[in-house]
């Protein structure tokens, strides 16, 4: 039995499950009911699993009828603090919380893949882990799951993906190389000295200092990295003062840095700190920096990516494969890639006929969920093909 022959029979199941999940989104590290719902589905399938000690996130597994290596399929399960404005029947029932990034679809995709794999269990050469990860939106969920239990240590290859509104529904992108950027988040707190608005010379104007820092930070990208190197530094928030006639003595900046080469991280941090502190000092102010690493760059390896391409061609046809430029958004799936062969796919969900045209994180975000069972088939086929390809290797070898 081939995955392509059974995938259409699960179209309704995967679509219904996604819509049920969409109605009940939960924020990062609060995915208690979502975890319980996934567990009920696994119970119904007879798949063993472990719920993490925080009662969010699940590691499940399917053992094939033949020995072999181990592959993991990952889904993230958290929603966003977004008020949904869609009016369809399955819109979010949680005030101020929405699956505005498609993680409901990811969860349904992996559960659909699990049901397909059970039908071809006699063909599985080894073990398939099913990873349902919390807290992707805050960038720390992958590390949390990676350090839970011993599944990561035992896994030989990891596959994941993201529904993507820039690709037409039914198209899939899998490519080797850099695919999503590293994500850093930073906050700068500037301390100057308050003064009357009519006597600025008696204070240290934190607005002026913040403005100078913003302008000087722009030189990091334009004068320190090649124009061919994708690096972004954006100041996204400036806060200072609380009335019209006082020169404020404090200001705060917030923003993000993005890049694709891992070695950029320590370099951009050093340049960032030097510019911020020296600029503040030039005006007689001081500055403190909080610099947080949210996600590493997501870089697909050649071999598992080729297996992914073959999986798409096998279950959907080569015409389903679509090119896509790398993007500056981040994904904590990159944390799994630090020590394991892996690949990450993009699943097209755009369809104007169902209103699936809005960007991720928009309060009108939607997807053509009729194609999610096709993605389930790709995940299942990937697991089968990768295990087949490595069937004659020592299962204990990494």
pLDDT in tens, 249-287: 999 999 999 999 999 999 999 999 999 999 999 999 999
Q: Which of 175, 202, 192 is nearest to 298 (CA)?
A: 175
Q: Which residue has the tokens 């039995």?
A: 1
Exposed, middle or buried, 371 (CB in 10 Å: 0-12/13-18/19+)? Answer: buried
Going residue by residue through the chain, which has 398 residues, state the pLDDT in tens, using 9 for 90 and above.
899 999 999 999 999 999 999 999 999 999 999 999 999 999 999 999 999 999 999 999 999 999 999 999 999 999 999 999 999 999 999 999 999 999 999 999 999 999 999 999 999 999 999 999 999 999 999 999 999 999 999 999 999 999 999 999 999 999 999 999 999 999 999 999 999 999 999 999 999 999 999 999 999 999 999 998 999 999 999 999 999 999 999 999 999 999 999 999 999 999 999 999 999 999 999 999 999 999 999 999 999 999 999 999 999 999 999 999 999 999 999 999 999 999 999 999 999 999 999 999 999 999 999 999 999 999 999 999 999 999 877 655 44
Cβ–Cβ < 8 Å for 324, 166:
yes
pLDDT at residue 392 in the model: 78
pLDDT at residue 394 in the model: 66
Distance, CA of 12 to CA of 213 (rounded, Å): 54
pLDDT at residue 398 in the model: 44
| Structure token digits, residue 20 | 């049920």
pLDDT at residue 4 in the model: 96
- Report the sign of the C-alpha dihedral through residues 294, 298, 304, 307, in that order: positive
Instruction: List the beta bridge partners of residue 327.
Output: 180
pLDDT at residue 126 in the model: 97
Query: How many CB atoms lie under 10 A from the CB of residue 32?
Result: 14
Measured CA to CA in angstroms, residue 104 lies from 15, 119, 253, 364, 366 at distances of 10, 23, 33, 15, 11
Measured CA to CA in angstroms, residue 198 lies from 71, 204, 210, 245 at distances of 68, 13, 20, 7
pLDDT at residue 396 in the model: 52
Distance, CA of 49 to CA of 131 (rounded, Å): 10
Q: Which of 208, 213, 334, 211 is nearest to 271 (CA)?
A: 213
Per-residue burial over 114-142, b = 16 or more CB atoms within 10 Å of its CB, e = otherwise:
bbbbeebeebbbbbbbbbbbbbbbebbbb
The pairing of strands 49-51 and 58-63 is: antiparallel
What are the structural domains, with CATH classification, of the chain?
A: 3-180+298-389 (3.40.630.10), 182-295 (3.30.70.360)
- Give the dihedral of Cα atoms 218, 219, 223, 224; nearest 10 deg: -90
- Rounded to two decimals, the pTM is 0.93
Q: Which residue has the tokens 């694709």?
A: 260
Q: Which of 389, 375, 388 is nearest to 113 (CA)?
A: 375
Beta strand spans in 21-176 (E)? 49-51, 58-63, 66-76, 125-133, 157-168, 172-173
pLDDT at residue 395 in the model: 52
pLDDT at residue 393 in the model: 76
């Amino acid at each position: 039995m081939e995955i392509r022959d059974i995938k259409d029979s699960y179209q309704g199941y995967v679509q219904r499950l996604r819509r049920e999940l969409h109605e009940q989104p939960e924020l990062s590290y609060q995915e208690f009911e979502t975890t319980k719902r996934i567990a009920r589905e696994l119970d119904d399938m007879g798949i063993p699993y472990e719920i993490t000690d925080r009662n969010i996130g699940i590691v499940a597994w399917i053992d094939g009828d033949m020995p072999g290596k181990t592959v993991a399929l990952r889904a993230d399960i958290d929603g966003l603090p977004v008020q949904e404005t869609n009016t369809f029947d399955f819109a979010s029932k949680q005030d101020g919380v929405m699956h505005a990034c498609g993680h409901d679809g990811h969860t349904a995709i992996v559960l659909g893949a699990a049901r397909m794999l059970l039908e071809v269990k006699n063909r599985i050469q080894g073990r398939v882990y099913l990873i349902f990860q919390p807290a992707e939106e805050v960038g720390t969920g992958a590390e949390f799951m990676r350090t839970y239990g011993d599944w990561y240590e035992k896994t030989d290859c990891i596959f994941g993906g993201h529904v993507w509104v820039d690709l037409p529904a039914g198209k899939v992108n899998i490519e080797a190389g850099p695919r999503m950027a590293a994500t850093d988040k930073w906050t700068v707190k500037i301390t100057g000295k308050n003064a009357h608005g009519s006597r600025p010379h008696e204070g240290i104007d934190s607005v002026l200092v913040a403005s100078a820092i913003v302008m000087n930070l722009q030189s990091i990208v334009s004068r320190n990295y090649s124009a061919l190197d994708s690096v972004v530094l954006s100041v996204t928030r400036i806060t200072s003062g609380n009335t019209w006639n006082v020169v404020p003595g404090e200001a705060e900046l917030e923003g993000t840095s993005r890049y694709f080469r891992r070695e950029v991280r320590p370099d951009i941090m050093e340049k960032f700190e030097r510019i911020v502190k020296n600029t503040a000092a030039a005006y007689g102010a001081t500055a403190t920096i909080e610099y947080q690493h949210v996600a590493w760059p997501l870089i697909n390896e050649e071999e598992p990516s080729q297996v992914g391409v073959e999986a798409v061609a096998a279950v959907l046809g080569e015409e389903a494969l679509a090119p896509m430029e790398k993007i500056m958004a981040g994904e904590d799936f990159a944390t799994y890639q630090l020590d394991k062969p892996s690949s990450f796919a993009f699943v097209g969900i755009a369809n104007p006929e169902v209103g699936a045209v809005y960007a991720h994180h928009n309060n009108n975000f939607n997807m053509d969920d009729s194609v999610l069972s096709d993605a389930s088939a790709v995940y299942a086929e990937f697991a089968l093909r990768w295990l087949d390809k490595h069937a004659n290797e020592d299962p204990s070898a990494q």
